[in-house]
Amino acid sequence: MIGIETKGSVTVNVGDKVAFYGDNGTYAQGNSSYSQISCTNDCYIYGNVMSLISSTDYASLTSLEIANTFSCLFSDNTHILNHPTKKMELPATTLANYCYDEMFSGCTGLTKAPELPATTLTPFCYSGMFWRCTGLTKAPELPATTLTPFCYSGMFRGCTSMTEAPALPVMNRQQAIKSWRMDIILLSSFSYLIEVVPFIAHHRSYGARMSVHRLQGTHENADEARHHERVVQ
């Protein structure tokens, strides 16, 4: 990962690009011990996030095998922005529990969510994924037809610029009941709701610093962070 293993930073100038590679099974062990990529000035984030798991085979990877893999990866990073022409790619179609939990929570600069191609979901896989992303105006398509408890819990909570919930596919009766409850969660708060290249951070400002670090201890907003454990009756 360009010389950064557990904690460190890179000083970059406007126009510089930082490519992140890694050979890791997971980046988090729950929401009290997790790794983050952060920056001190505005930067574009794009590319294939699977380059953080495999430095050589990321282009063909479509499975997340370990729980919490990308949990809180960009949480509260208000400086990350969508590139005008290049996408963030989250290509996994096989998910693990909590794999994207609060991945972009508090990323207020995001205006467009990455595509989410998985059709079979796992518990809490998308929980709080875009929580408090106030710049999002539209949800990504949600093609999943096999759901699990809390898979979408709090996904778009606090996304105050969104005006409608995403469409949900036709499912069997049991799945439809789950999706109806999910839709209530989505609508009730109006918020619930990468070219194959390595994951790239492209800075827009001079003197910006990008850092990768592991956080230990209690989540800063522990009570709010567990919002996805609530059950809507």
Cα-flanking dihedrals φ and ψ of residue 187, to 5°? -80, -30
Strand order across the beta sheet in which 7-12 lies:
7-12, 208-216, 33-39
Which residue, 116, 33, 90, is CA-closest to 67? 33
Where in 22-93 does DSSP place strands (E)? Answer: 33-39, 43-48, 80-82, 88-89
Category of 95 on φ-ψ map: left (φ > 0), alpha (ψ -120 to 50) or beta:
beta
pLDDT in tens, the chain (233 residues): 344 445 678 888 888 888 888 888 777 776 677 788 888 899 999 999 999 999 999 999 999 999 999 999 999 999 999 999 999 999 999 999 999 999 999 999 999 999 999 999 999 999 999 999 999 999 999 999 999 989 999 999 999 999 888 887 855 545 545 544 444 444 433 332 323 445 555 545 444 444 444 444 433 343 333 343 333 33
Q: Which residues contact 53 (CB under 8 A, 6 or more apart)?
A: 22, 23, 24, 25, 61, 64, 69
The domain locations on the chain are: 1-221
What's the pTM value of the predicted model, to 2 decimals? 0.76
Residue 90's SS3 state is: coil
Q: What is the pLDDT of residue 119?
A: 94
Q: What is the pLDDT of residue 88?
A: 95
8 Å CB contact between 205 and 14: yes
